[in-house]
Amino acid sequence: MHLPDGFLSPQISLPAWAVAVPFWAWGARRHFGREAAESLPVMGSLTALAFVIQTILIPVPGGTSTHLTGVTLLAILYGPLAAMVCEGLVLLIQALFFGAGGVTVLGVNALAMGLLGPLAGWLAWKLLRGLSEKAALFAAGWLSMQVSTLAVVGALALQHWLDPLYFPVAPAVTLVAMGVPSLTVAGVVEGLYAVFALSLVRKANFRGVEA
């Protein structure tokens, strides 16, 4: 789902970096200082798990594929800023060691999949957990995926609007191509993953996990 290098010009990628860096700095200061000794290993494992599940491509009709993000759980357990830092790290490792995504588009991808999506998921969890915990988790995962997808579509639409020769696909086409798999497949699987993964974390009874 995340954008590769070359899809966005510096007109978009540089401002996105400028917005993302303060969030990373804030998140790192808040969640990864000396006092994070207990939570850092769990966050590291969940980040690694997010990395692994992001490499598993889910085929969707039309010959393309989609994937989960797996960071909604990090937002639920540690807050949206921790998810932003961890997703930034996943994207950095993917770009530097595996040639997926890219460094120029890292700011946009991190804001979409690391901040906006998990923030929406975290809000859904906070609002709905009183009604039913499992339903709230599923809704958080599903909503997180939709918001992330919309943010990526928005960035591509903005690029098309700025320079159609740079990115020639019309926003309506991008929305259909990315929105349909997200609504029907990826969102549902992300919701199920959130339910499954939180029950797993609770069963394991790790130090540094509060939810």
Partner 1 sequence: MASRPDPRAGRRLLAAWLVAIFALSALHDPRWLAGAGLAAVLLFHRGLWRTLGRTLRSVVPVTVGLSAASMGWNRLVTGDWPPLQPFQALALRAAVIGFLTFAVLDRLALLPALAPFPALTRLLVVTLAQIHALRLLSTESLQGLRSRLPRRPGPLDLLRGAGGITAMLFTLATRNARDISDAMRSRGF
Judge contact between 184 and 126, C-beta under 8 A.
no
Query: By three-state DSSP, how is residue 66 classified?
Result: strand
Distance of alpha carbon 3 from alpha carbon 8, whole angstroms: 8
What angle do the packed helices 133-162 and 187-204 form, to 10 degrees? 130
Tokens representing 94? Answer: 């993917």
Rule CB under 8 A: say whether 48 interacts with partner 1. yes
| Residue indicated by tokens 């929105």 | 179
Q: Contact letters (x/-) for partner 1, 138-177, by CB under 8 A?
A: -------------------------xxxxxxxx-xxx-xx
CB of 211 to partner 1, least distance (A): 15
The closest alpha carbon to 210, from 198, 197, 196, belongs to: 198
DSSP 110: I
CB of 48 to partner 1, least distance (A): 3
CB of 169 to partner 1, least distance (A): 5
Q: Contact letters (x/-) for partner 1, 10-39, by CB under 8 A?
A: x--xx-------------x---xx---x--
DSSP class per residue in 126-156: HHHTTT-HHHHHHHHHHHHHHHHHHHHHHHH
CB of 119 to partner 1, least distance (A): 21
CB of 141 to partner 1, least distance (A): 16
Contact pick of 98, 126, 127, 184 for partner 1 (by CB under 8 A): 98
Strand partners, 139: none
Give the residues lining the site for partner 1 (CB under 8 A): 4-10, 13-14, 28, 32-33, 37, 40-45, 47-49, 51-52, 62-64, 85, 89-90, 93, 95-100, 102-104, 163-170, 172-174, 176-177, 196, 200-201, 203-204, 206
